[in-house]
Amino acid sequence: MQFMLLFSRQGKLRLQKWYVPLSDKERKKISRDLVQTILARKPKMCSFLEWRDLKIVYKRYASLYFCCAVEDQDNELITLEIIHRYVELLDKYFGSVCELDIIFNFEKAYFILDEFLLGGEAQETSKKNVLKAIEQADLLQEAIEQADLLQEVRLLTDP
Amino acid sequence: MALKIVKGSIDRMFDKNLQDLVRGIRNHKEDEAKYISTCIDEIKQELKQDNIAVKSNAVCKLTYLQMLGYDVSWAAFNIVEVMSSSKFTYKRIGYLAASQCFHESTDVIMLTTNQIRKDLSSPNQYDTGVALTGLSCFVTPDLARDLANDIMTLMSHTKPYIRKKAVLIMYKVFLKYPESLRPAFPRMKEKLEDPDPGVQSAAVNVICELARRNPKNYLSLAPLFFKLMTSSTNNWVLIKIIKLFGALTPLEPLVGTAGSCLSSVSVLISLSSGMPNHSASIQALCIVSRPLSVLSLFVVKYLGLLAMSKILKTHPKSVQSHKDLILQCLDDKDESIRLRALDLLYGMVSKKNLMEIVKKLMLHVDKAEGTTYRDELLTKIIDICSQSNYQYITNFEWYISILVELTRLEGTRHGHLIASQMLDVAIRVKAIRAFAVAQMATLLDNAHLLTGNTQHSGICEVLYAAAWICGEFSEHLEDPMATLEAMLRPKVATLPGHIQAVYVQNAAKLFSTVLCGQEGAPADSKVAQETSQLLIDRLPVFVQSDNLEVQERASCILQLVKYIQKLQQKDVEVAEEVTALFAGELNPVAPKAQKKVPVPEGLDLDAWINEPPSGSESEDEGRKTKGKAVFAREESRHTKPRYTEVDEKELAMRREVRKAEQANNPFYIKASPSSQKVYQEAVGVEHIPVVQIDLSVPLKVPGMPMSDQYVKLEEERREKNKADRKKKDKKKRREKGRQRRGDSGPESEEDITPAHMVDIVTEEMPETALYTIPCLFPSQKSSKHKKKKQKKEKDKKKKHHHHHHSDGAREESVQNGTVEDEEPLPVSKQSPFSLSTQSNPCPLDVCDIQGNLHDGSQVVVSVIFENKCDSFIKSMEFNVMDSLNSKLQRPEGAGPHDSLTVPFHLPPGISSEARFIFSVQSIVMPQKLKGTLTFIVKTEDSSTHEKLDFKLHFTCTSYLITTPCYSVLCPDLNFRLNCFDAYAKLLESGDLKGSSLKLEGINQPFHHLLARICFHHHFSVVERIDSCASMYSRSIQGHHVCLLVKTADQTVSIDAKCDEPGLLRNVLDEIKLTFSQC
């Protein structure tokens, strides 16, 4: 997979993940073009389209479009399946995920994606394992934050 | 310092966090750019602070802004700062920002190398994890080169979480720094067999992607991937592997198939299992069908069929349209594909296509090689037809015909399955009965075809159903008399016991029907009496049966018929009464219907209906009758006086005893108090409700399954009785007669010691069964429950394989093929084969030399070894000198002159059969093979080694197989008419060479002559007109042999035709020999 984009019906980018090294300028151009192309398509149209030398696989979940670009030899159906799996993961993690969850916790959405895909390849196909890894990392983060807080409080009270 | 930190955290409270930023942007829709520029200014301030938490917050906001399209490259160094934090919380944000914002031209990346290396080796797996994740996005050739070794080490990390990330990132490293591939590849390959499925799938991913770029180098991995493909349950991995095979395609013909088809198919599998309602699955179906029709690679077919079977569950219609394609798969060489296709067919049938599908399957049955697959087909056909309560069958006549056709299968194990279907359909579908009965009657008439030469073939179970259906629904029979006759043929006695029992019982039903018909007509009492006479003539064979069930039923019915005949002689009309015996419509009842019958008020099912008779009474009865007749032989002498005595009283008593047994036997369904018919299981057709026959004859002999227990009990009792014996002189005297005849010896005497029959209410009731049956049925030979040893001692008579009863000593029938003893012994003409003298304790009887139908080069020789001396014979070894043409088949590894060990010992007076297989090349000439049998005769004090020479005579006849011409020439079972045509065509075809033979001075009736030819030379009669008959047979190698036999004035002329003149000449010579001997 070359990259993944999440954008709203209004064309606002909500998440982007690039697995190929591209300059910011190129990235911007690609995402702008793609968002326009996909939003112009009617709901009953096919989920796959050929775009430049890539295959674009997209699917709309509520107000969000999930869009992936894969290479020519890659399989569209399994890409669709990857998108679906990612949505399932988000849904499990946030509990009935909505667009706002992803906007306000966009770093979490990235963390989940990074546990699921790595370098554009599926890394872990088990939903359970992905979520377990995220939970563990979150716990670790909380523990550190609490320790920091305690340290600050100690410093304040005991100079 | 402390103050500084505290100040930082206080500042933080007033800082915007990410949420505030997002909210702010949403609130400033009109002047978003302006708002954001102020935010960026704030962020720049935050980044100048020392507090890492503040910095990290700023970086997080920047990452968000970067996504919105703002340039954040100026903050690259700050990102590196946050990445370098020792705390996971900030490191996580730092690496995320780096992965989003860095690209190859970002120069600060140079500075990160050491930091990343440190993180990779961190003891915390999540530190390592975020580093790897981040690296995967911004890895540069320099980073790849510098870190390749570290990452390679991580591939063997203890945590699978790290291993799988390391494996995946290696792909990026390979791309950026190809030199790393060579040293890393062995380890990568190793990971294909990692115990963790995640790591394994990661390795599959990487290698697949690598192979796609340069397939040639990865061909050697194909076997490993094949293995993974068959073992993996992870669809994602499967798809990757198939993609890999797609890449290998152009290079390796074995893998050579269109890869995209493969991956489409496998994605389908995942789709149909993961998202059952995904609309794509239907669209994709056409993709499946394409590879199925085009490609021959088994993997593709297999996957395609697998996918179809999954789609079938959700979209049956779309799969049904590919029926022909699936049927084609039945022709595949690979059995697993055929079986998969069969599974699919099962789900595909509908009312419309059932007949068509089954017809195709039937064709496959005919073609199928190997009994296993054929049996599988057979069960599938029946499964398909009978599924959901026959929901798809619109025409049951058709189904019956299918079942009848299936009976023609050679050597199937599923006779009982066919039988149960026949019964089920005949019972449940009333409209079909007339047709079913007609078909069953034909089956019965041709029973010899089914049973063939192997009595143990499972297909004869069908006769069970046929007999029962013909009996139960005999009113539909066109010619009940003919069927009755067919059911009472002597050959029936060779069928398994439970089938014979059904034959006997249903012969009685038929008898009643026949009587009805005959008495209805202008009273011709003679015809009716003849019918009775037929039964009286034929039933004794069954009365002598060694199966208790058969014996019991036969003797009961025989007496009944005799009584009827008596009444007939007095011109009493009996038909009505006889019919009443079997009156009552049989209704199909659900298996659990019995439970729904309420127990009437005031009925205690556990209470005795009749008090069990006291033991002494039946004991006396038993002893009295035993003295008179125990052997069936004697029965004929005693019959008349005895059976007139079988009066109401005794019948009633018999019934009571049995009721008592049944009440105590857990294996019996207790008699229902209501008039509702009770269904009970019959042997062999477990699932078919069979009406309990009104004679209260148990269908199973109680106690059989517990014979071991019985032996134990008997021994205990014997001990006890020894003490008591002296007191019972009187009884002993009475039984002396029996003892002298050596019937059951002193031990069985004790079996009849004071009756503890019905009083003992234990689960071990079978004892009573054992005592009562011999007591009440004096006509029976002897209870088979007695110890085997005794039986062997007394049973001097042997029933031989082909049911020719030898009359004690020498006369053994041999169908064809002989054993000639080379010792100079008197050889009588009738039986040159069985030579038994003192010096020759173990004569051989070749019972049968039989061609193997399935293999044109095999002949099976059955040899009966009978020990006629008084010593034990063991270690028999059988050997034959092979000729060029005929060879004894020896087990693998044995030399060409090794002898075969006969797999049994022979105690005195015992005979047993062994089979030997010979491979034969040419069947045109008869042959004699010399052989020797060596064995050890063991007497009490010594043992001697002895040798016996013999000759095996393979006649040409033994290569012929009795083949009714319709089964070859017109396999349809509605044959008779077409058969003659086909036979005529065969004769006219001109392929056959003629030859003829004249026999003078034959003064036996023509039908005897025909029977002799049929019997000795394996022919069957095609047609007979007056003194002229045409006959047919077929050799194991498929030669047709046709005979036209004519007789006039003691001269018989045989005109014969065959496609092999040599064979024909020899067969004719053998026929001539047969007739010259009589």
Residues B749-766: what's their mean pLDDT?
33
Give the residue ranges of DSSP H helices in B177-258.
181-191, 197-213, 222-231, 235-248
Closest CA of chain A from B689, distance in Å: 51
H or E, element range at B88 = helix B88-101
Specify which of B152-161, B459-468, B852-861, B1004-1013 reaches the highest per-range mean pLDDT.
B152-161
Nearest to B87 among A15, A126, A144 (CB): A144
| Helix, coil or strand: residue B873 | strand
Residues B384-397: what's their mean pLDDT?
83
> Do A121 and B168 lie within an 8 Å CB cutoff?
yes
Say if CB A121 and CB B171 are below 8 A apart: yes
H or E, element range at B23 = helix B18-27
Which residues of chain A lie closer than 8 angstroms to B197, CB-CB?
126
Give the residue ranges of DSSP H helices in B884-973.
965-969
> Do B198 and A124 lie within an 8 Å CB cutoff?
yes
For residue B614, give the DSSP letter: P
Please return the burial class of A139, using the count of CB atoms within 10 Å of its CB with bins 0-12, 13-18 and 19+.
Answer: exposed
B917 CB within 8 Å of a chain A CB: no
Nearest to B126 among A23, A119, A140 (CB): A140
Which residues of chain A lie closer than 8 angstroms to B87, CB-CB?
144, 148
Nearest to A24 among B71, B236, B274 (CB): B71
pLDDT digits (tens, 9 = 90+) for B309-362: 766 776 666 667 777 777 777 777 667 777 778 888 887 788 888 888 888 888
Closest CA of chain B from A142, distance in Å: 8
pLDDT of residue B491: 81
Cα B192 to Cα B150, B178, B185, B201, B249: the distances in Å are 20, 20, 11, 8, 21
Residue whose C-alpha is closest to residue B775's, from B788, B763, B757: B757
Cα B330 to Cα A158, B257, B298, B354, B508: the distances in Å are 85, 21, 13, 16, 46
pLDDT of residue A78: 85
Distance CA A138, CA B1037 (A): 80
Name the phi and psi angles at B847, rounded to 5: -85, -35
pLDDT of residue B223: 75
Asked if ipTM goes beyond 0.90, one says yes
Distance CA A90, CA A112 (A): 7
Which residues of chain B lie closer than 8 angstroms to A145, CB-CB?
89
Closest CA of chain A from B138, distance in Å: 7
Greatest CA separation for chain A: 67
Cα B234 to Cα B162, B212, B270, B281, B351: the distances in Å are 20, 21, 9, 19, 37
Q: Tokens at residue B721, please?
A: 């009785």
> Do B53 and A148 lie within an 8 Å CB cutoff?
yes
For residue B850, give the DSSP letter: E
All residues at 6 or more sequence positions from B238 whose CB lies less than 8 Å from its CB, including other chains = B229, B232, B266, B269, B270
pLDDT digits (tens, 9 = 90+) for B655-683: 776 666 655 554 444 444 443 433 443 34
pLDDT of residue B697: 32
All residues at 6 or more sequence positions from B1056 whose CB lies less than 8 Å from its CB, including other chains = B994, B995, B996, B997, B1041, B1042, B1043, B1044, B1064, B1067, B1068
Q: How many CA atoms are closer than 13 Å to the CA of B565, on its beta-carbon side? A: 19
Report the side by side order of strands in the sheet with A64-70: A13-18, A3-8, A64-70, A54-61, A48-51
Distance CA A42, CA B832 (A): 96
**pLDDT(A103) > 80:** yes
Which residues of chain B lie closer than 8 angstroms to A133, CB-CB?
129, 161
Antiparallel, parallel or unpaired: β B679-682 and B685-691:
antiparallel
Length of chain B: 1078
pLDDT averaged over every residue in chain B: 71
pLDDT of residue B1017: 83
Q: Please report the number of interchain residue pairs, chain A to chain B, with beta-carbon separation below 8 angstroms.
A: 141
> Do A137 and B105 lie within an 8 Å CB cutoff?
no
Q: Tokens at residue A113, please?
A: 């994606």
Which residues of chain B lie closer than 8 angstroms to A75, CB-CB?
239, 243, 260, 263-264, 267
pLDDT digits (tens, 9 = 90+) for B556-611: 989 988 888 888 888 777 777 888 888 777 666 677 777 777 777 777 777 777 77
Distance CA B1020, CA B1031 (A): 5
Antiparallel, parallel or unpaired: β A13-18 and B927-938:
unpaired
Antiparallel, parallel or unpaired: β A64-70 and A3-8:
antiparallel
Nearest to B271 among A14, A81, A119 (CB): A81
Question: Is the torsion defined by CA of B901, B904, B909, B914 positive or negative?
Answer: negative
**pLDDT(B160) > 50:** yes
Closest CA of chain A from B2, distance in Å: 6
**pLDDT(B1007) > 90:** no
Q: Over B749-783, what HEC string results? A: HHHCCCCCCCCCCCCCCHHHHHHHHHHHCCCCCCC
> Do B137 and A84 lie within an 8 Å CB cutoff?
no
Residue whose C-alpha is closest to residue A3's, from A76, A70, A102: A70
Please return the burial class of B919, using the count of CB atoms within 10 Å of its CB with bins 0-12, 13-18 and 19+.
Answer: middle
A131 CB within 8 Å of a chain B CB: no
Q: Tokens at residue A52, please?
A: 């430049």
A33 CB within 8 Å of a chain B CB: no
pLDDT of residue B843: 55
Which residues of chain B lie closer than 8 angstroms to A19, CB-CB?
136-137
Distance CA B232, CA B204 (A): 11
pLDDT of residue B32: 84
Q: Which residue of A has its CA nearest to B137?
A: A19
Cα B50 to Cα B56, B81, B374, B557: the distances in Å are 11, 10, 82, 112
Scanning B121-180 for CB atoms below 8 A from A yields 124, 126, 129-130, 132-133, 136-138, 140, 161, 164-165, 168-169, 171-172
Nearest to B133 among A15, A107, A114 (CB): A114
Angle at B965 (CA atoms; ends B963, B969), nearest 5 degrees: 120
The residue type of A138 is: D
Distance CA B958, CA B950 (A): 18
All residues at 6 or more sequence positions from B409 whose CB lies less than 8 Å from its CB, including other chains = B365, B374, B378, B459
pLDDT bracket for residue B792 (50, 70, 90): very low
Q: Tokens at residue B27, please?
A: 């609130």
Q: Tokens at residue B561, please?
A: 């018929």
Which residues of chain B lie closer than 8 angstroms to A156, CB-CB?
6
Distance CA B757, CA B765 (A): 8
pLDDT bracket for residue A114 (50, 70, 90): very high
> Do A144 and B234 lie within an 8 Å CB cutoff?
no
**pLDDT(B891) > 90:** no
Q: Which one is predicted more confidently, B928 or B520? A: B928
Q: What is the pTM of this model?
A: 0.43
Neighbours of B225 (CB within 10 A): 24
Residue whose C-alpha is closest to residue B818's, from B926, B963, B961: B926
**pLDDT(A42) > 50:** yes
Distance CA A108, CA A86 (A): 13
Q: Tokens at residue B405, please?
A: 């056709």
Which residues of chain B lie closer than 8 angstroms to A81, CB-CB?
267, 270-271, 274-275
Q: Tell me which of B7, B70, B136 to substitute to probe the interface with A (most A C-beta atoms closer than 10 Å).
A: B136
Q: Which residue of B has its CA nearest to A152?
A: B6
pLDDT of residue A66: 94
Closest CA of chain A from B330, distance in Å: 30
> Do A136 and B234 lie within an 8 Å CB cutoff?
no
**pLDDT(A113) > 90:** yes
Q: Over chain A, what HEC string results? A: CCEEEEEECCCCEEEEEECCCCCHHHHHHHHHHHHHHHHCCCCCCCCEEEECCEEEEEEEECCEEEEEEECCCCCHHHHHHHHHHHHHHHHHHHCCCCHHHHHHCHHHHHHHHHHHEECCEECCCCHHHHHHHHHHHHHHHHHHHHHHHHHHHHHHHCC
- Annotate B1038-1049 with b (16+ C-beta within 10 A) or e (fewer): ebbbbbbbebee
**pLDDT(B530) > 70:** yes
Say if CB B22 and CB A100 are below 8 A apart: no
